[in-house]
Amino acid sequence: MFQTFTLETIAVPEGNLRVRHGGSGPPLLLVHGHPRTHTTWWRVAPLLAEHFTVICPDLPGFGRSYQPAEAPDHANSSKRAKAKALVALMRRLGHRRFAVAGHDRGAYAAFRLAMDHPDRVTRLAILDAVPIGEALARCDARFAASWWHWFFFAVADKPERAILADPVAWYGGSAEAMGSDNHADFLAAIRDPAVVQGMLEDYRAGLGIDRAHDDADRAAGRRLACPLLVLWSLKDDLEALYGDVVGIWRPWVGGDLSGHGIDSGHHMAEEAPEQLAAALKAHFLG
């Protein structure tokens, strides 16, 4: 994986982040989702590195990056805190302004980064997500049946015990589908009790403080200042749940907005890397 990339551990004020970076051109930050690590991008990053300096970190709480300190309101695992750490990472790498793409839980961190730091983000791509506040406001029986894990993961202690009893049975995944090195990195993460707790804290923050941040922005009329591309997996359930995915994002965007489906399952970076890389390249090259 990442044969021409550099693997580093970089200190930010909150702790250490594991990151791979490579390529040349304008900086592009790729933010993975749950339960993956940055290695989920291994098929996409080299395709983008022909045009961009690509930076792929493990999110705080995930993989081999730092574990946020516990707090009663889960603020240290909030997307606002993670966005602040990512800005610090990019500054350490010499990038003041940059483009961002985020998938799944990483999409929420990417969205918060663009909302809280509009002077930093040139363009944004959101993969398989609508704002947390929008998702919870639309929560119905279909949502609860499909995304029940949002609520189970927010319960104290029990989800850690359930997952760690058999992480492979819980999460699935295979070397054949994911690539052997990516799969090995994923297995190391989901078998680590600290990482499992860190990933669950991300969900606990989502139902509380993250939603509060979204709701406050919406009430104040704050919008994304940069162009937004929204992509979703046609073989997953985002379109089935929300219908007009782009329409849900429209009130959040002050500038250009576009979007379309990708012919893949949920982990599009692993399942449809060429199609995803082409869509991201077209958006980020403007």
Among residues 144, 137, 102, which one has the least CA distance to residue 248?
Answer: 137
For helices 193-205 and 105-116, angle between their N-to-C axes, nearest 10 degrees:
50
Q: Which of 51, 117, 183, 266 is flagged as catalytic? A: 266
Angle at 117 between CA 20 and CA 257, to 5 degrees: 90
Active site (annotated) includes residue 266: yes
DSSP class per residue in 84-127? HHHHHHHHHTT-SSEEEEEETHHHHHHHHHHHH-TTTEEEEEEE
Size (the chain), residues:
286
| Cα–Cα dist 113/149, whole Å | 25
Catalytic residue chosen out of the listed positions 34, 58, 103, 104 = 104
Buried residues in 40-52 as b, exposed as e (16+ CB within 10 A)? bbbbbbbbbbebb
149: annotated active-site residue: no
Active site residues: 104, 266
